[in-house]
Structures are given as structure tokens and as C-alpha cells.
């Protein structure tokens, strides 16, 4: 079964971007609790450089990782950026001094966050920005998205995407403007919405039909974190068949599951990065996919 190796963001716009269909998520490149500098700064910079050298054209980040740590590492490792690199950031959240996460999604704060991302990433325009939805916050979703489209009109953002979105919100958003991508939680062992410490993490499965209908790229987060620790028997069988690791089969499964999926596995280890990217070359059969389910 051959997989589609590229994906187009903003396909229905006049500025589509086609990139390799395997990205890298930077959230693991900070200290514990997504706070402060990484334990091994040299390795963090090496991973980013190696990612680009090995064909990664999509890097996921946020100004609230660190805060600012991953953005600064990206700039240090890769600026001036290759012209075909998409750096995707997200807004809607910020960090409190106790390392917590809080909504930061009033129009004024969304603007502050974009300016902060532009500064730390050393960019004049960000190719893709996800509005990261925090359910049940004060600022209405429509108002938040309106601000995103305003900043797009002003040229600060090229494409607007949504993260942690539910089907109702996505339907509303599609009537308001072009949605270039959706970033929700999704992995082999966790495909639907779940809650951790009262926070709702929306799964991709619920919005997938809408994304497929509208040809919207789907960016799964936590595709390893929620699946790897479960030591799945079926994954192990396929891993043995291809002399691969569980992580590689989890990622290969994503790549075969739907051609609109763009994996962004995160890691703080160069050896795991090298292992993960090899999943791009694993070709599963229809029988493998049926077996995995």
C-alpha cells in the first residue's frame, strides 16, 4: 500500500503550500512540565538541524512552550530558514508563573501572542497559526476566530488553522473563512475526546469527516504519548513483521490511516527522532491495516 508522501496546506486558497507529510513537534524540547530550557540544549539544537536536513518541512511550536524556549531554539538552529520550511505556531494559551496553562484568547491577547511569536521566531509573517481552543472560556469562539482572520488580512498570518476543535466549532469556522488545518489529539490507542485534570482534549475522530469533506490537513498531537505506554499486542505483531519498533508502527499506521494526516511526533532524543522518521518509509499492506484496525 503506497502512501501519499506530500500534503498541501491551504489547497483551496491562492497560496497553497505543499510539503513532505511528516513533521516534528517541538514540545519535548523544553525542561520538565514544558517549562524552561531543555536538559540537553546541544541535542535539542541538533534535532532541529537534523530534522531539516532529513526532509522535515513542518515544525510545530508555540510561544507558551517554555515560554518562548522552543521558538528561540528554532530560530537559533535554523534561521535564516529554508524557503520550504513551514513553522506552525499556536495562540490562545499562555503560562502562569506556577507553570500552569491559562486561556489567553481575548482579541488583545491573541494579538500580543502573534507579535511575540513573530519576534522570537524572527519572522514577518507566520505561514500557519492554529487558534488553540480552550473550551468554556469567556471570549466567544467566533470573536477569537474573527481576530485571527483580521491578523491574516493584515499579513501577519498566511494560513489560519484550529486546534482542539469540536465538530460544532469547526462547522461555524468553515462558514467564517478558510480553515487550513486542524490539530487535535489522535493516535492508535486514543482517537476520541478525553479529559485530564478537568481539561478537555478533543480527538480528531469527531472532526475527521468534516476535514475529509473539506480536504483539510489533520495534524495529530499526542500520537505516541497516549499509545506507546500501552504495549499493544497488535502493534507488536506488525513491528516484528517489519523488524520495526512500536513507535515506528504507530506512526506508519497514522500515515496509512488517512492521507490528510500529517504526523508531528515529539521527542527530546536524537536517536528517537532518527527512529521515528524511518516510519515514513514503512509500507503497510491492506491486511496489516485491517489487522491493526
Ligand X SMILES: NC(=O)c1ccc[n+]([C@@H]2O[C@H](COP(=O)([O-])OP(=O)(O)OC[C@H]3O[C@@H](n4cnc5c(N)ncnc54)[C@H](OP(=O)(O)O)[C@@H]3O)[C@@H](O)[C@H]2O)c1
Catalytic residue set: 65
Going by the DSSP 8-state scheme, the letter that residue 139 receives in this structure is S
Question: Grid coordinates 514544558 are at which residue?
Answer: 34
Which 3-state string (H, E, C) describes 251-278? HHHHHHHCCCECCCCECCCHHHHHHHHH
Task: For residue 169, state whether it binds ligand X (rule: CB under 6 A).
Answer: no
Cell of 184: 487535535
Near ligand X by CB under 6 A: residue from 7, 27, 157, 182: 27
Near ligand X by CB under 6 A: residue from 47, 173, 216, 247: 247
Binding to ligand X, residues 68-87 (CB under 6 A): none
Bridge partners, residue 221, by sequence: 185
Kind and range of the H or E run holding 183: strand 182-185
For ligand X, how many residues bind (rule: CB under 6 A)?
26
Region binding ligand X by CB under 6 A among candidate stretches 50-58, 94-102, 168-176, 263-271 = 263-271
Task: For residue 250, state whether it binds ligand X (rule: CB under 6 A).
Answer: no
Closest to ligand X by CB, 55 or 153: 55
Task: For residue 25, state whether it binds ligand X (rule: CB under 6 A).
Answer: yes
Task: For residue 265, state whether it binds ligand X (rule: CB under 6 A).
Answer: yes
Closest to ligand X by CB, 76 or 275: 275
Nearest distance from C-beta of residue 59 to ligand X, angstroms: 8
Region binding ligand X by CB under 6 A among candidate stretches 2-10, 44-52, 271-279, 285-293 = 271-279
Near ligand X by CB under 6 A: residue from 223, 232, 277, 284: 223
Sign of CA dihedral 153, 154, 160, 166: negative
Task: For residue 64, state whether it binds ligand X (rule: CB under 6 A).
Answer: no
Cell of 17: 503550500
> Is 224 strand, coil or helix?
coil
Task: For residue 165, state whether it binds ligand X (rule: CB under 6 A).
Answer: no
Binding to ligand X, residues 77-136 (CB under 6 A): 90, 132
Count the neighbouring beta carbons within 10 Å of the beta carbon of residue 131: 26
Closest to ligand X by CB, 153 or 231: 231
Distance CA 186, CA 205 (A): 7
67, 72, 77, 79: CA torsion to nearest 10: 140
Distance CA 17, CA 202 (A): 26
Closest CA to 219 of 59, 62, 104, 95: 59
Task: For residue 268, state whether it binds ligand X (rule: CB under 6 A).
Answer: yes
Nearest distance from C-beta of residue 186 to ligand X, angstroms: 10
Beta-carbon contacts of residue 233 (< 8 Å; ≥ 6 apart): none
Residue nearest ligand X, CB atom distance: 266
Nearest distance from C-beta of residue 214 to ligand X, angstroms: 19
64, 68, 72, 74: CA torsion to nearest 10: 0
Region binding ligand X by CB under 6 A among candidate stretches 38-46, 72-80, 102-110, 270-278 = 270-278
Distance CA 192, CA 209 (A): 13
Binding to ligand X, residues 183-222 (CB under 6 A): 183, 221-222
Q: Which positions lie near ligand X, rule CB under 6 A? A: 25-28, 60, 90, 132, 163-164, 183, 221-225, 228, 247, 264-269, 272, 275-276
Amino acid at each position: 500500500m503506497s502512501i501519499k508522501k506530500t500534503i498541501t496546506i491551504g489547497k483551496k486558497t491562492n497560496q497553497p503550500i505543499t510539503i513532505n507529510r511528516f513533521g516534528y513537534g517541538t514540545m519535548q524540547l523544553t525542561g520538565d512540565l514544558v517549562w524552561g530550557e531543555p536538559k540537553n540544549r546541544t541535542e535539542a539544537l541538533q534535532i532541529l538541524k537534523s530534522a531539516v536536513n532529513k526532509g522535515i518541512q513542518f515544525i510545530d511550536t508555540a510561544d507558551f512552550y517554555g515560554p518562548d524556549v522552543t521558538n528561540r531554539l528554532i530560530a537559533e538552529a535554523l534561521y535564516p530558514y529554508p524557503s520550504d520550511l513551514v513553522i506552525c505556531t499556536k495562540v490562545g494559551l499562555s503560562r502562569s508563573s506556577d507553570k500552569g496553562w491559562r486561556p489567553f484568547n481575548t482579541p488583545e491577547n491573541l494579538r500580543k501572542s502573534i507579535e511575540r511569536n513573530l519576534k522570537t521566531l524572527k519572522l514577518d509573517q507566520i505561514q500557519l497559526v492554529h487558534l488553540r481552543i480552550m473550551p468554556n472560556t469567556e471570549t466567544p469562539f467566533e470573536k477569537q476566530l474573527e481576530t485571527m482572520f483580521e491578523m491574516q488580512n493584515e499579513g501577519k498570518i498566511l494560513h489560519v488553522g484550529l486546534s482542539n476543535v469540536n465538530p460544532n466549532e469547526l462547522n461555524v469556522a468553515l462558514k467564517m473563512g478558510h480553515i487550513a488545518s486542524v490539530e487535535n489529539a489522535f493516535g492508535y490507542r486514543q482517537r476520541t475526546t478525553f479529559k485530564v485534570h478537568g481539561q478537555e482534549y478533543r480527538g480528531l475522530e469527531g472532526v475527521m469527516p468534516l476535514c475529509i469533506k473539506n480536504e483539510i490537513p489533520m495534524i495529530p498531537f499526542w500520537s505516541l504519548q497516549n499509545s506507546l505506554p500501552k504495549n499493544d499486542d497488535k502493534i507488536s505483531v506488525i513491528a516484528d513483521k517489519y523488524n520495526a519498533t512500536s513507535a515506528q508502527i504507530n506512526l506508519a499506521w497514522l500515515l496509512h490511516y488517512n492521507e490528510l494526516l500529517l504526523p508531528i511526533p515529539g521527542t527530546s532524543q536524537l536517536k528517537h527522532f532518527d527512529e521515528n522518521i524511518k516510519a515514513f518509509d514503512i509500507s503497510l499492506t491492506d491486511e496489516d491495516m485491517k489487522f491493526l484496525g
